[in-house]
Structures are given as C-alpha cells and as structure tokens.
Amino acid sequence: MDVIEVIVAKRDSGELSTGQIDWVIDAYTRGVVADEQMSSLAMAILLNGMNRREIADWTQAMIRSGERMDWSALDRPTADKHSTGGVGDKITLPLAPLVAACGAYVPQLSGRGLGHTGGTLDKLESIPGWRASLSNDEMLAVLREAGAVVCAAGSGLAPADKKLYALRDVTGTVESIPLIASSIMSKKIAEGTGSLVLDVKVGSGAFMKTVERARELAETMVALGTDAGVRTVALLTAMDRPLGRAVGNALEVEESVEVLAGGGPSDVVELTVRLAREMLEAAGIAGGKDPAEALKDGSAMDAWRRMIAAQGGDPDAPLPRAAETTTVAAPASGVLTRLDAYAVGLAAWRLGAGRARKEDPVSFGAGIVLHAKPGDEVRAGEPLMTLHADEPERFGRALAALEGGYEVGAAGQDLLPLVIDRITA
C-alpha cells in the first residue's frame, strides 16, 4: 500500500476500499504512516466525507488495533450510555447506579473534560479517594459488587483512536462526522457492552450546533452500533441552555447526589429517568423496577454508594469547596429569556473547572451555581448566578465570558425541547 495513493483517493472524493482502510489505520498505529500524512487524510475525510461502509470499516479497523472487552461472565445484561458532551451534563453520575438498581450491569468508560465541556472523570475525582484507573479484573469486580462502574479507558482499548484523536485536536479536523462517529463507537463497541444509548447534544453548548447535524451524527452512530451487533438507540437532547443548576466538578457531584436522594432539578431528573428507561429497554429488561421508583425508594442511592466505595471513594466525605465566590445579579426585573450554554461553560472553564490542555489540572471546587433558568421570573439586583473559584483574579475573565450570554425580558423565548428526537435503526 502507498499512503499517498490513499490520501489522493479521498482528496479526489474517491471511496476507500476495506483493504486501504485496514492498512492505513494499522500503519498509522505502528508509526509507518506519519502524523503529517494522517492529518492530510483526516482533512480530506472532513471535506469529502465517507459512506456507511467506509465508516464501518474505519471503525472496525480502530477496534482491531487493540483489545475487545468481554462481559459474558456476568449473569445479567450490560447497558451503556454515551453523551457527546455539554455544560452541566452530569447525567452519567446518577444514571449508572440508577440503571444498576433496576437490574442491568453498567460498564462505562468515560473521559475528562476539555475546553468548555465537562468530563465525567473530573467530576468523580472530586470525591476523596475515588480512582478512575482500573484494570479489567478490577472493573469486573466492581460490576459484581455494585452493578455499575465508571472509569477511564485503558491504553489497550482502540489505541488507533487515541492517537488519531490527539492529531485531530490540533489539525482542525475534530468536526468531521465520520471521524467523530468512528472515534466514539470504536471505543464503545470495543468496550463489549451488549446495548448502548447515545445522548447527542444539540445547541450552543454542544459540538453539534444544529438539529440537522446532530441527527446526522446520531444516525451514523446508531448504524455503526447496529452493524457491529450492539443494540443502539440515540436521543437528541437540548444543550442551548445548561443542564441543571450546577456547572463544575464537585458542584455537579453534589447536584447528582440530590437527584439520587429523590430531589434535584427537574430537567436532570427527567433526562436521567428517560435515559435509564431507554437503557433498560435496549438491554431487554422489561417489567422490573421503574427508574423513577428507584430514585424514590433509595435503591439508586444505595447503588451509588456501593459504586463509589468500590472504586476507593468515600461517599460521605465533604466535597471540595472553592475559596472565593462572587455573585452576578439580575440586571432588571422580568423573565430570564436566555441563558447561553456556551457562555456559562466558557465562564466555568475560566474559573478553573476545565482545562485547555489534557495535562492541565482542574479546580474541583470551581464552577457556577445558577439561581434561575430560562423561563424563570427574576427581580433586579437579586442573584442570578454565583461564581466559584480558588483565585479571585479568575472572576474578571469569567464575567467577560458571560457578557451577552443572558437576557431578561418581558416574556420567555422558545427553547429546544429537552428531548428533541429519538433515533433507532
């Protein structure tokens, strides 16, 4: 094979053969294809796309670059969920133990935040003692003990994707739907789950800004999962405003525990229960305990405590708190008509809740607590949101990020429905 021929074929809108795809992924993983050459191919894919067969071949080639996990030793079905990321999206935290409490095993490999979107592992690492890195044997032990595990993917899982993702991040090719879909699904299929529910976010705080682009991504991923024998369904959900009232690592853990205790913001509860029902249905578990009941009777909270403790965490330990706070007041009386998810996420990032580079630390206590959501009535001078940071000098840049990100008017504006659509094979 000649990498130049592969690049030129896609540059000229050609269709890559299965053999070409298998070879280029393997050669890039081994270092035979240089970063410069793969970045050129990634740009050609961004510009000219791939068909369903090409994307499926690309995904399978990345899966074959590493190990494939196997949960056949478990005595109940497995179900997983993946979110494309957003602002205040802490759903995995209450969802994994909730689904476990209703009868499925939940082996979930999650990631860290980058930029304005938060990462599940960063949130959980704000719990004293909690460990993100587990061996396959440790994952199995936690699953058997708690019913759910949330941890980092090991280096042996789709190493081609890990290498390619880092390259896409610095070459302007992150937005390619074939490359996004194959990146997500190569890891999820290699993870070995029997069923998968995808939460594809739409709006300013998401990577997919429009319903049309989100639907294209969702349909592509559902097709990849289906073709690989994984029962897959996707929901398109709103990210034009933040999810819940807490944005930031420890703040979101605190809100998640409120949900598990039977309270919490209505949008977080609604989406958690909806996704739980989808996961149970995809796993073939019907007629058992309903997720809404598991939140009320304490069984989901019990599963949470077992899961956190099994990974070394102390579910009763105090969570980190930021050293400094400042309040943003409502500029006028009326209705909060707009609260832009991206502006809030960017502000939380500048407060220290996120990172600009993968190696950067995060401040576990930093973030934003929202005192009003779009559609709520507010009064001039009353708190609209509280900003949390360890260093007071961070407040200025965070406040600048929020400028123009919220509006108070006489009446509410139309928002995306929380669940926009459901995509199946």
Catalytically active residues are: 82, 161, 168, 183, 187
Token pair for 386: 């509280």
Could you give the CA distance from residue 338 to residue 171 in angstroms, rounded to a whole number?
A: 33
Q: How many other C-beta atoms can be found within 10 angstroms of the C-beta atom of residue 155?
A: 10
The stretches of 147-263 forming alpha helices (DSSP H) are: 159-169, 177-190, 211-227, 249-260
Taking phi over 0 as left and psi of -120 to 50 as alpha, with beta for the rest, 287 belongs to left
Residue with tokens 């959501």: 373
Strand boundaries in 301-366, DSSP class E: 324-329, 334-339
DSSP classification of residue 179: H
Q: How many other C-beta atoms can be found within 10 angstroms of the C-beta atom of residue 135?
A: 10
Rounded to 5°, the CA angle 320-238-410 comes to 95
Could you give the CA distance from residue 365 to residue 126 in angstroms, rounded to a whole number?
A: 8
Name every residue whose Cβ is closer than 8 Å to that of residue 269 and which is 6 or more positions away in sequence: 259, 295
Amino acid at 273: V
Phi–psi pair at 385, nearest 5 degrees = -160, 155
Q: Which helix (H) or strand (E) holds 238?
A: strand 231-238
Q: How many other C-beta atoms can be found within 10 angstroms of the C-beta atom of residue 205?
A: 28
Q: CA neighbours within 13 Å on the CB side: how many for 384?
A: 26
Q: Smallest Cα–Cα separation from 54: which of 14, 2, 97, 18?
A: 18
Pairing verdict, β 334-339 and 406-409 = antiparallel
Pairing verdict, β 367-370 and 419-423 = unpaired
Token pair for 313: 């965490």
Q: How many other C-beta atoms can be found within 10 angstroms of the C-beta atom of residue 113?
A: 22
* C-alpha dist (Å) from residue 64 to 138, 193, 248: 23, 16, 36
Helix, coil or strand: residue 351? helix
